[in-house]
Structure 1
Amino acid sequence: MIDVRPFSSLGGANHGWLNAKHHFSFADYYDPSRMSWGRLRVWNDDEIAAKSGFPPHPHADMEIITYVRTGAITHEDSMGNRGRTGAGDVQVMSAGTGVRHAEFNLEDETTTLFQIWIETDKPGATPGWGQREFPKSDRTGRFSVLASGDPSEEALTINADAKVLGATLNAGESLTYSLAEGRRAYLVPAVGAVEINGVALNARDGAAIKDEAEITITAKADAELVMVDSL
């Protein structure tokens, strides 16, 4: 099953400094048919104006992954961490017992990003934060693991039985991904247009996938892909 959620159908709100689209129910957007996808709870498509951002606010017991599409985001938290994450790179925060953080676009251009929340497997864990550069050249024509609950993966660590993956495809290229029984995937092209097992998907659309043992993705235009594989 592949359920396409067109970008035009997403909920959201425009706050001036923040133009946010929500793949799942979030804040004032509520759709009982889009509460979550397995352990995946939030996938927000955010545009953050230059010299603005989210002031300090708390989280607990959630794995929060930020994939920067353009521009950069600067993070600061109550654990003493501070770091700048640029386009194509990833940061993760395991909120655990509780943490306050701020996310600001200190750049002179709009920053665009995906913020992804995955339900934790370890409630009450010690909070943590990390970031890493992921050159797009390393994921040409294949999925690379960006964040994972499996410590054997060479990726950022999260406290969840889930993987966040990224790939780039040139127009006409394909890749195949095996989805284990009982698991679900959610895929969004940051840019480009693709077909997933023959089903069309445009830039910033979402595809909720289950009961597909193999997923073959073919690029109809140069594409940058982000996908979550989880229970």
Structure 2
Amino acid sequence: MIEHRSFASLGGANHGWLDAKHHFSFASYYDAKRMGWGSLRVWNDDVIQPNTGFPPHPHKNMEIVTYVREGAITHEDSLGNKGRTQAGDVQVMSAGSGIIHSEYNLEAVETRIFQIWIESNQKPNSPSWGTRPFPKNERAGSFVALASGFSEDTEALPIRTDARVLGATLKAGEQLEYSFASANRYGYLVPAKGKVEVNGLLLNARDGAAIQQEEKIVITALEDAELVLVDAS
């Protein structure tokens, strides 16, 4: 089963400095049919204006993955971490027992991000933060684990949950397969750019595909595409 969630159908709000679209219920947007997908709880598509951002605020017991699509995001937290994550790269914050952080666009252009929250399956422990580059040419034609709770994904940023966040790029006409460990896994796929088909279902850029009871998906790029996939329990 693959459910198409068009970008036009997403909830959200435009705050001026932030134009946010929500794949799942979040803040003032509520849809009883879109409360989450397995342990995946949030997928926000955010456009942040220059020299604005999210002031310091707290989180607990959540794995928060930020995929930067355009521009860059600058992070600072109560652990003393500071860092800038630019387009194509990823940062992970494990909120653990509690952390306060801010995220600002200090660039001269809009910053566009996917912010993905996945429930932790570990007891709350010390929070952490990390970032690393993931060059797009290194994920051309195949999925690369960007963040993962599985020890075999040694190059991925670690998260404290039974899930993976993966990225891939495809040229128009290319095809890519992904197999889930079992049909009980929950997949959620969003093309950051480009138009694709997933098992024959058409997805435009920034549409979502909620995947369940599928052991394998076949993705065909109708245009040059940049993909982000969550494989969750």
Q: CA deviation at 1:84?
A: 0.1
SS at match of 2:218: strand
Q: Deviations over 1:51-93 (max 9, x none)?
A: 0000000000000000000000000000000000000000000
Q: Which amino acid aligns with 1:188?
A: V
SS at match of 2:161: coil
Q: Deviations over 1:156-207 (max 9, x none)?
A: 0000000000000000000000012211100000000000000100000000
Range with bigger deviation, 12-21 or 146-155: 146-155
Tell me the TM-score normalised to structure 2 length: 0.98
- Residues 119-198 of structure 1: matches in 2 within 5 Å? 119-153=119-153, 154-181=155-182, 182-198=184-200
SS at match of 1:126: coil
- Residues 187-226 of structure 1: matches in 2 within 5 Å? 187-226=189-228
- Alpha-carbon RMSD across the aligned residues, in angstroms, is 0.5
Task: Give unmatched runs, 5+ long, in structure 2.
Answer: none
Structure 1 segments, 4+ long, off by >4 Å, are: none
Q: Which amino acid aligns with 1:62?
A: M
Q: Which amino acid aligns with 1:85?
A: T
Tell me how far apart the structure 2 counterparts of residues 190 and 5 of structure 1 sit (CA, whole Å). Answer: 14
SS at match of 1:226: strand
Q: Matched residues, percent identical?
A: 66
Q: CA deviation at 1:214?
A: 1.0
Tell me how far apart the structure 1 counterparts of residues 115 and 123 of structure 2 sit (CA, whole Å). Answer: 20
Q: CA deviation at 1:212?
A: 1.1
Tell me how far apart the structure 2 counterparts of residues 125 and 172 of structure 1 sit (CA, whole Å). Answer: 45
Q: Which amino acid aligns with 1:33?
A: K
Tell me how far apart the structure 2 counterparts of residues 68 and 151 of structure 1 sit (CA, whole Å). Answer: 24
Task: Give unmatched runs, 5+ long, in structure 1.
Answer: none
SS at match of 2:137: helix
Tell me the TM-score normalised to structure 1 length: 0.99
Q: Deviations over 1:126-150 (max 9, x none)?
A: 1000000000000000000000001
Tell me how far apart the structure 2 counterparts of residues 223 and 152 of structure 1 sit (CA, whole Å). Answer: 27
